[in-house]
């Protein structure tokens, strides 16, 4: 029970956000509004074009400066958002509006696309499965997209984007020839693939439940259904606004997104729609399961009650007969006959059998 | 029960999709993501115009090349998607974007229309009824539409499009004079007709259920309703996105679709809308049936309980009276009278009849 | 019960449509897909302008030819669709696209408007009340609208449009001066008026039910509510797509519809919206009635059960007391006193009255 | 009960409309389709501009003619619609399309705006509270708007627009300087204010119910909730299409409405939206109340049943014990001991107390 | 209970509004339609640009006049709306349309944006938590926006906007350089932040409830759920129209809002959407909690009833056996045997144990 309460709190906590002292802050105030999830901020750079590839981990923002003016695509991945100094330096280096970094540090914000003069900011929730506990982790991903640089901000260190790095390293033609917009697509594609993956993990649990439901619907089933419903609602909270965001991204008329990648963003739309469909599907299944559970339970209870009632009812006339001959009247003719007692037994058994047949015919048990 | 569990798993399985190792793959990677459903890939070609007709089965992609440059309409039907080599050759032969073939091989994708530079890709789910088991089979159909060639990809060998071939062979004027766009319409029309057919098969089962429901609502009825509901949901999962796709196809402003076929695509819209209406209709009927079932069951239970309770209640005062005269008080005046025992019986019968009349008047049973 | 099953089948049958052998037919194949509802095809012609009026029944299509080239408005009413020969002749005479007649003969199609090069096709479902049985009949009406000719196709012989003929005969100014578009409006107006009429007939039955519901909610009430719900759903199946059709007709930008009749088509929109509102209203009323019925029934059951339980409970301590003095202990002091038996009665009556007062105060019965 | 049935019929009657003989009538036939609600038709005229004001009651339509050509704003208020002669004269005098007056006389029509060549017709339902019975009365209001004349048609004599007349008499600047469009706004504003007023009267009743619900939920509560729900649905039937109408009025691009009054029509939109919101709010409250009622009732029943069951169950072992010592075996050792009877009592009391403690601990009553 | 009734009335009162005497008032009549919530009207002025800052409290409207013509941004904050004289003076001073001030004084109006010739009026509901009672207070905020002056009207004195004043005083660059549009954004941002804050306070209560629900679902839980549901509905009544307003504000094409602040208004949209999402989330949680509560309660009741029934049923055959040997037949062979009594006990115990095992196996308790 404890565990259940805990996870539910953890999840509900995502809905609660505004603290009193945060009200009225200037929107470009650089304050980290999330929970610090990693110790040290890590800056990883991959700089590439069709022919060249540089990959390194840098310590300071100024080590990035050189990449800014190159024609190549530069992908700066930053794990950890709590260091306001680094944020400030990034803003200065790339000449971002002061609001951009404030937005990045506000990890509670809704998924969205904002266009600024010299860049576009894309934020989305990443869902992943924690290895040990099997808990679903939500993390805010922010992407700042300029013509030749893509900066991605993650809250914790993770290797979620490793497949993309791998594709870059292996000289996959399309990604090495694409711009920052194609890289953006590749990253978002992984995020949405993870939605589908997390959904399918939940789906397997729901399937297993299905079998239990039909074989042996115990009390834990209802708790599990409720807990899966909650988990699903929790996932939907990320998927729904992400869908909105992806659709408005695909409609966006920005120079940062070339026509060639339009078709890829359409694919993103299809994938997020599919994620949304799948989550709808599981919601329907869970609500059907809940109905089946309730029907099963109540029909089982009805059967028990009917059995017990029929059982009781059969004894009622028998006990009545016994009561009759327990009376102490002086003149009860039946009492004197030698076989009365046995006749009483025969009558009782006849009554009982008669009632049983009657109930059986009426299909009452 | 076993069978039920199986089918439900099979159906739910359609919702689960993303495997961990698939996350982050390049979108133009040619990987077959479905289940291999046929042994050998079969390539069938029909090449026709108003006057000529060539129909043959080819072994290799290069046998197709010749048709490409002819003015006639060439319909290449390919059963089986797992051979990446053939896919690669097709892409090279027709100069398709590398993503096109990747899309075709991804059989889990949502129904959609994508326009590329030199072709349009249409994917839709085909529903058909398996002969023996009566199970509904879902299969992904992909159509690549160019100006003079239509390539259709099916997952398994089937004769679903035989009526169209027949119409081509019989020199039906319209189809022989039409272009690839009319051929596309003809194929999609068959797919949607099959939706309606599969729905009407389900409908017949629902109808039969209706009769059972009113005559003898046993426990299997609830299982059947739930199983039909699930089956219907399963069909709706294919019909709903197909409707979206057909509507966006009809709105598409492509040179590949001539104005003359516009009216046919409008017809497709009407047909898929009808399929959607019919599925809505059955959903309503099933949910009504569920309500009727629950009402019938609960009203039946109430009647039983009322009967049993009334029965018990009638004996309660009788047993009480017998109890009174079972007491061992020394001075109970009634015990000594000769006819007391008979009077007791008369009183008891009078009480019982009085209660019966009271309950009958109150319409309690 | 039999009757109920029958009507339900008849109604559900409307949802089931596609037969296996119909899949893949060419869309311009002239096949009558409905049920033959009249023996002989009847062709009635009314040809009129502001000054002249010709009304006759013709036997062959070629008798119509002459009217085609006149400046007058020609209304050809055809009862019966199963004669493909006549259909073919009509298509040739008026030079219709081959698909037009195929559409007319497909009586299962959804209400819709299709514009062709030289005509527009309007299909809608007509609802009418059968005289004897009170059953609602659905019939497909198709209108082919050209500049000077309006052809209306009905499945069975009927006098539903008699009021329009009457208005034409009586030289009503507006209809005699109007074109085929005004005539179209007049016919559709009658169809929609009939929707409202059929709805109001159902409404009267629902009203009567309302009274029964409050006075004496028997078991037939629930059957009636369910049957009316079904009937209403059945009507809504025709009204909903008709509404879509009328709205798209009013938006249509065709030369066949003059600006002067625009205001009339707006009126059609209002009327069909009203029909839709009324059907929504009855749906709400029926679902409220269902709730009230269930509440009434369950509250009645609760009252009975409470009464019976209270009744039983009152006897429980009394029977216990009698039991106590039925024991055969040698030393039970009370047994020897002369008035014990009477005291026992007094105690019993006191206990019973005490409990009655307690339950009454608690308002338990 | 009688009263309830009556009002429900009266209200439901609003949904039923089409009579058989009305089907197929020409749309410009001048037939009064409502119920005659006033004896004599009353024509009241107010003619004003910023400086002058004429107010009089005329007997015949021809007395109005003179005002038609003046530059002033003329407001003709007509109470009673059943006099077709007057209607005809009005149409001739102002040169209205013959359909306009037919529309005005059709009091069952849906709220709507229709633009004609030389005028616009606005119809809306007026809600008002009848003084004595507290019943809500629905009346159709039609406004014909021309450049300098506004004709308002009411079904019965009423002083609902008295505040507007007062404002005109008191030389309120805005209304005296405004045109017919501002006057239209002023009248519609009163109609919508009355929606809010009627809603708030219902709201007060709902509030009172709320208190009853928590203090003493008797059976009349459920009847009241259902009756208020019905009343609210009835109001919503007027408010919903009125909202549609007001919004389409505000969007209308007519010369009859000057830019200066645009802001007022926006205000109308806000007010009708508010009325719609308030009605939504009460619907939610009523449906919550229904839930609370059912929960309260069922929880109360459960408590009673639990109490009675626990009570019965406590006596069951006691009666059993008494039964044991009521047996007539020759050798029952306990029967001979002197204190057996008292020991039996002690055991019984101990068992009863033990069970009570057990049930209490389990919180079963 | 009393408290509950009170708060519910207070909240419902917000829905009721229109008083009879208010119907038909001229829309520019300066009448205070709210409840007087502060004694004296307070006028606070902050006048600033990037370099200068004047902050003062004035007594009369004419003290404001001087600021009107300055190039600086002037923010006039007015607490209290009941003084019509001041309102009149403000209108004259700033040359506002007479309707503007009437709108400001109508505190029951729906949140909205209205553009006038020389200003824009924005109204929104402010939510705040009262310190002592924890009650949520709703207050109407009106903002009149001109090119260089922003007038904000509050119903009661409050320091809700203190953070903005602080930012102005501390020379925060952005706010000191921004115009009245940026100031408007800053104020609205605080209002929406307060929505989120009030929601999160409710959220904490809902969370606590969650724990109670799982540990010990008493009767107060249902009352709390219902009261939180109502509170949430109450908040949603403010949030929903505010969302509409913010979205129409962001779409508004006014010169008063510079392009530079567009991005801020987009942020407002995101924040209000988030508030709306969060409120949806809590609604779902509360409705889930209600379901869980009902399931828990009913499953607990079922368990009790099952236990009690099983308990009773076990005694039924035992009491029957005792009854048999309580009969007074002369020839009952068993009565004479010496060990009959003990054998009866053994049989009884065996029957009881047998039944217990049977029920246990069937998992009936």
Helices C180-215 & D2-13 angle (0-180, nearest 10): 170
Residues B323 and B284 in one domain: no
DSSP state string for A117-131: SS-EEEEEEEEEE-T
Q: Would you say A56 and A45 are in contact if contact means Cβ atoms under 8 Å apart? A: yes
What sign does the CA torsion over B213, B216, B217, B221 have? negative
Asked if residue E2 belongs to a domain, the reply is no
- For residue C321, give both structure tokens: 């007391």
List the CATH number of the domain containing B20: 3.30.460.20
Asked if residue E50 belongs to a domain, the reply is yes
pLDDT values of chain D reduced to their tens digit, one per residue, 365 residues? 333 333 333 444 455 556 777 777 777 777 776 666 667 888 999 999 888 899 999 888 888 888 877 889 999 999 988 888 888 889 988 999 878 888 898 888 889 898 888 899 999 999 988 766 777 888 899 999 998 999 999 988 878 898 899 889 987 778 888 899 999 999 999 999 999 999 988 988 888 888 778 777 777 888 889 889 888 988 998 999 999 999 988 888 788 888 888 888 888 998 899 899 889 888 888 988 888 888 888 888 888 888 999 999 999 999 999 999 999 998 898 898 889 999 999 999 999 999 999 999 988 87
Containing structural domain, residue A326 = 300-361
Tell which residue, B277, D155, D43, E182, has the closest CA to residue C237.
B277
Average pLDDT rounded to a whole number, residues A23-40: 72
Q: How far does C154 lie from chain D, in Å, by closest CA?
A: 17
Residues E282 and E225 in one domain: yes
d(CA B242, CA B198): 15
Residues D304 and D289 in one domain: no
List of chain A residues whose C-beta atoms are within 8 Å of the C-beta of residue B241: 273, 277
d(CA C119, CA D258): 41
Residue with tokens 């089962």: B205
ipTM over cut 0.95: no
Last residue of a domain, one of E295, E316, E346: E295
Residues C199 and C341 in one domain: no
d(CA C12, CA B285): 9
Cβ neighbour number for residue E284 with a 10 Å cutoff:
16
Last residue of a domain, one of E295, E317, E337: E295
Query: Which residue blocks in chain D are alpha helix, DSSP H?
Result: 2-13, 65-68, 84-94, 98-105, 162-169, 173-177, 180-215, 219-251, 259-324, 333-336, 340-361
Asked if residue D176 belongs to a domain, the reply is yes
Contacts of D78 (CB under 8 A, 6+ apart): D41, D42, D43, D44, D86, D151, D152, D153, D154
If you average pLDDT over every residue of chain C, what do you get? Answer: 85
d(CA D108, CA D237): 12
Q: Is the pTM for the entire model greater than 0.90?
A: no
Burial B259-293 (b: 16+ CB within 10 A, else e): eebebbbebbbbbbbbbbebbbbbebbbebbbebb
Cβ-based burial of E70 (10 A; exposed 0-12, middle 13-18, buried ≥19): middle
Mutation for B interface: A181, A324, A326, most B CBs within 10 A? A324
Cβ neighbour number for residue C356 with a 10 Å cutoff:
13
Q: How far does A241 lie from chain B, in Å, by closest CA?
A: 20
Residues E79 and E214 in one domain: yes
Average pLDDT rounded to a whole number, residues A167-181: 86
Per-residue model confidence (pLDDT) at position E9: 38
The parts of chain B modelled with pLDDT lower than 70 are 1-18, 33-38, 131-132
Q: How confident is the model at residue A243 (pLDDT cuts 50, 70, 90)?
A: very high
Q: Is A215 on the interface with E (CB under 8 A)?
A: no
Q: How far does A219 lie from chain B, in Å, by closest CA?
A: 20
Helices A2-12 & A219-251 angle (0-180, nearest 10): 20
User: What is the gyration radius of the CA atoms in chain D, in angstroms?
Assistant: 34
Average pLDDT rounded to a whole number, residues A127-151: 86
CA atoms within 13 A on the CB side of C230: 28
Asked if residue B2 belongs to a domain, the reply is no
Q: How confident is the model at residue C7 (pLDDT cuts 50, 70, 90)?
A: very low
Cβ neighbour number for residue E217 with a 10 Å cutoff:
18
Distance of CA C44 to the CA centre of its chain: 30
Residues B332 and B285 in one domain: no
pLDDT surpassing 80 at residue C234: yes
List of chain C residues whose C-beta atoms are within 8 Å of the C-beta of residue B285: 12, 15
Residues B208 and B313 in one domain: no
Query: Is B328 within 8 Å of C327 when comparing Cβ atoms?
Result: yes
Q: How far does A62 lie from chain B, in Å, by closest CA?
A: 31
Q: How confident is the model at residue E11 (pLDDT cuts 50, 70, 90)?
A: very low
d(CA E248, CA C249): 32
The continuous run of DSSP H or E covering C43 comes out as strand C42-48
Q: How far does E274 lie from chain D, in Å, by closest CA?
A: 22
Query: Is A270 within 8 Å of B26 when comparing Cβ atoms?
Result: no
Query: Is B284 within 8 Å of C28 when comparing Cβ atoms?
Result: no
Per-residue model confidence (pLDDT) at position B11: 44
Residue with tokens 């009561």: A323
pLDDT surpassing 80 at residue E13: no
Q: Would you say D38 and D156 are in contact if contact means Cβ atoms under 8 Å apart? A: yes
DSSP three-state, residue A363: coil
Burial D282-315 (b: 16+ CB within 10 A, else e): bebbbebbbebbebebbeebbebbbbbbbebbbb
Q: Closest partner residue to C18 among B172, B197, B277, by Cβ? A: B197
Residues A324 and A229 in one domain: no
Q: Closest partner residue to D200 among E16, E24, E219, by Cβ? A: E16
| Chain D 265-304, residues with CB within 8 Å of chain E CB atoms | 266-267, 270, 273-274, 277-278, 281-282, 284-285, 288, 292, 295, 299, 302
Mutation for A interface: B3, B7, B8, B18, most A CBs within 10 A? B18
Query: Is D288 within 8 Å of E112 when comparing Cβ atoms?
Result: no
Per-residue model confidence (pLDDT) at position B10: 42
The continuous run of DSSP H or E covering C323 comes out as helix C262-324
Asked if residue A1 belongs to a domain, the reply is no
Tell which residue, C84, A76, E93, C214, has the closest CA to residue D230.
C214
Cβ-based burial of D57 (10 A; exposed 0-12, middle 13-18, buried ≥19): exposed
DSSP state string for D255-290: TTS-HHHHHHHHHHHHHHHHHHHHHHHHHHHHHHHH
d(CA A297, CA A308): 17
| Chain C 4-63, residues with CB within 8 Å of chain B CB atoms | 4-5, 8-9, 12, 15-20, 22-28
Asked if residue B356 belongs to a domain, the reply is yes
DSSP three-state, residue D103: helix
Residues E265 and E309 in one domain: no
Mutation for B interface: A329, A331, A356, A358, most B CBs within 10 A? A329
Per-residue model confidence (pLDDT) at position D69: 79
Mutation for D interface: C165, C316, C354, most D CBs within 10 A? C316
Query: Is A338 within 8 Å of E331 when comparing Cβ atoms?
Result: yes
pLDDT surpassing 50 at residue C28: yes
d(CA D160, CA E24): 9
Residues B273 and B347 in one domain: no
Contacts of A29 (CB under 8 A, 6+ apart): A102
Per-residue model confidence (pLDDT) at position E18: 66
Per-residue model confidence (pLDDT) at position A18: 66
d(CA B9, CA C172): 68
Residues E204 and E182 in one domain: yes
Q: Is A199 on the interface with B (CB under 8 A)?
A: yes
Burial B301-314 (b: 16+ CB within 10 A, else e): bbebbbbbbbebbb
* Number of folded domains that form chain C: 2
List of chain B residues whose C-beta atoms are within 8 Å of the C-beta of residue C98: 174
Cβ-based burial of A237 (10 A; exposed 0-12, middle 13-18, buried ≥19): buried
In C, minimum Cα distance to D293 occurs at C295
List of chain B residues whose C-beta atoms are within 8 Å of the C-beta of residue C20: 197
d(CA E186, CA E73): 14
List of chain B residues whose C-beta atoms are within 8 Å of the C-beta of residue C101: none
Average pLDDT rounded to a whole number, residues A111-140: 86
The continuous run of DSSP H or E covering B55 comes out as strand B53-58
What digits encode the pLDDT tens for the residues C53-66?
Answer: 999 998 888 888 88
Per-residue model confidence (pLDDT) at position B6: 36
Per-residue model confidence (pLDDT) at position C260: 80
- The full length of chain C comes to 365
CA atoms within 13 A on the CB side of B223: 12
In C, minimum Cα distance to D98 occurs at C174
List of chain B residues whose C-beta atoms are within 8 Å of the C-beta of residue A172: 26
In C, minimum Cα distance to B298 occurs at C298
List the CATH number of the domain containing B349: 1.20.58.340
pLDDT surpassing 50 at residue A362: yes
Q: Closest partner residue to E340 among D189, D197, D329, by Cβ? A: D329
d(CA A66, CA A80): 22
Query: Is B18 within 8 Å of A204 when comparing Cβ atoms?
Result: no
User: What is the gyration radius of the CA atoms in chain A, in angstroms?
Assistant: 34
Q: How confident is the model at residue E37 (pLDDT cuts 50, 70, 90)?
A: low
Query: Is C329 within 8 Å of D340 when comparing Cβ atoms?
Result: yes
The continuous run of DSSP H or E covering C317 comes out as helix C262-324
Asked if residue D1 belongs to a domain, the reply is no
Q: Is C310 on the interface with D (CB under 8 A)?
A: yes
What digits encode the pLDDT tens for the residues A316-348?
Answer: 999 999 999 999 998 898 898 889 999 999 999
Residue with tokens 């099979």: B10
Residues C165 and C54 in one domain: yes
DSSP state string for E287-330: HHHHHHHHHHHHHHHHHHHHHHHHHHHHHHHHHHHHHHTT---S
Q: Would you say B100 and B116 are in contact if contact means Cβ atoms under 8 Å apart? A: yes
pLDDT surpassing 50 at residue A30: yes
Asked if residue B290 belongs to a domain, the reply is yes
Last residue of a domain, one of B255, B272, B295: B295
- For residue E101, give both structure tokens: 């001030």
Q: Is C323 on the interface with D (CB under 8 A)?
A: yes
């Amino acid at each position: 029970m404890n565990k259940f309460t805990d996870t539910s709190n953890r999840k509900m906590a995502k809905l609660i956000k505004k603290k009193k002292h945060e009200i009225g802050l200037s929107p470009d105030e650089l304050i980290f509004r999330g929970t610090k999830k990693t110790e040290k901020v890590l800056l990883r750079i991959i700089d590439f074009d069709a022919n060249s590839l540089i990959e390194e981990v840098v310590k300071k923002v100024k080590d990035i400066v050189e990449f800014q003016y190159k024609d190549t695509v530069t992908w700066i991945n930053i794990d950890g958002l709590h260091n306001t100094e680094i944020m400030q330096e990034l803003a200065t280096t790339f000449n971002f509006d002061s609001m951009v970094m404030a937005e990045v540090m506000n990890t509670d914000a809704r998924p969205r696309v904002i266009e600024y003069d010299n860049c576009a900011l894309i934020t989305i929730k990443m869902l992943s499965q924690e290895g040990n506990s099997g808990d679903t982790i939500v993390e805010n991903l922010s992407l700042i997209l300029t013509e030749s640089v893509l900066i991605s901000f993650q809250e914790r260190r993770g290797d979620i984007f490793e497949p993309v790095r791998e594709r870059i390293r292996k000289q996959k033609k399309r990604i090495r020839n694409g711009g920052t917009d194609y890289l953006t697509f590749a990253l978002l594609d992984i995020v949405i693939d993870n939605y589908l993956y997390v959904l399918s993990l939940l789906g397997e649990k729901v399937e297993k439940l299905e079998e239990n439901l039909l074989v042996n619907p115990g009390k834990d089933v209802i708790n599990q259904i409720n807990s899966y419903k909650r988990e699903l609602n929790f996932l939907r909270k990320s998927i729904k606004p992400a869908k909105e965001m992806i659709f408005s991204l695909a409609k966006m008329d920005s120079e940062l997104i070339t026509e060639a990648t339009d078709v890829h963003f359409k694919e993103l739309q299809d994938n997020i729609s599919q994620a949304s469909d799948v989550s709808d599907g599981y919601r329907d299944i869970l609500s059907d399961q809940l109905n089946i559970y309730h029907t099963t339970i109540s029909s089982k209870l009805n059967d028990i009650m009917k059995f017990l009632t029929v059982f009781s009812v059969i004894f009622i006339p028998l006990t009545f007969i016994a009561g009759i001959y327990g009376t102490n009247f002086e003149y009860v003719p039946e009492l004197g006959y030698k076989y009365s007692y046995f006749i009483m037994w025969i009558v009782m058994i006849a009554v009982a059998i008669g009632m049983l047949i009657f109930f059986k015919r009426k299909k009452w048990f």
